[in-house]
Copies of this chain bind each other. A is one copy, B any other.
Amino acid sequence: MTAPTDPAPSAVKSRLLDLMVALGTAHWQDYAATAAQHGLTSVQARLLAQVTAPVPMRGLAEQLGCDASNVTGIVDRLQARGLVVRESDERDRRVKNVVATDEGLATIQRIRAEMQATHTALDALTEDERVTLYALLERLRPGLENRD
């Protein structure tokens, strides 16, 4: 679509793929380690980051890419620690909306600020380079996020 079909796949593309896997793993470990400093698993942190506004359990399952039955336990544990609350939906009484408490919101922000490895990595670039990187990554987004 973007170029005449290449019989031999681009060497750059191949190496870029490896680099993305490596950096993706490192970045993910930074995320998990930072969340762990707050006693959270990476999935708990991800869910918490998605409930700055109320979200139904079902919606959380989609956003997390897991089965709805798992969300029950994850929310249970976050709720037991006072980081989120369940609210019954008034228009559809089957639905329960999850929303972060003030402490939950504060925790999300701290985790974001304390991802040391990621911050250090980004500090290695100039502001202009960050702008360039941002633009390139934004172009990757549609292909990467369209999941079946």
Contact = CB atoms under 8 A, between A and B. Distances in A.
Chain A interface residue count: which class? 35 or more
Copies of this chain, complex-wide, total: 2
A117 B141 CA distance: 10
A16 interface: yes
A133 interface: yes
A8 interface: no
Which secondary structure dominates where chain A touches chain B? Answer: helix
Given A12-B127, A130-B12, A19 B141 contact: yes
Contacts of A30: 144, 147
A65 interface: yes
Interface of A: 1-3, 10, 12-13, 15-17, 19-31, 33, 46, 65, 112, 115, 117-127, 129-134, 136-147
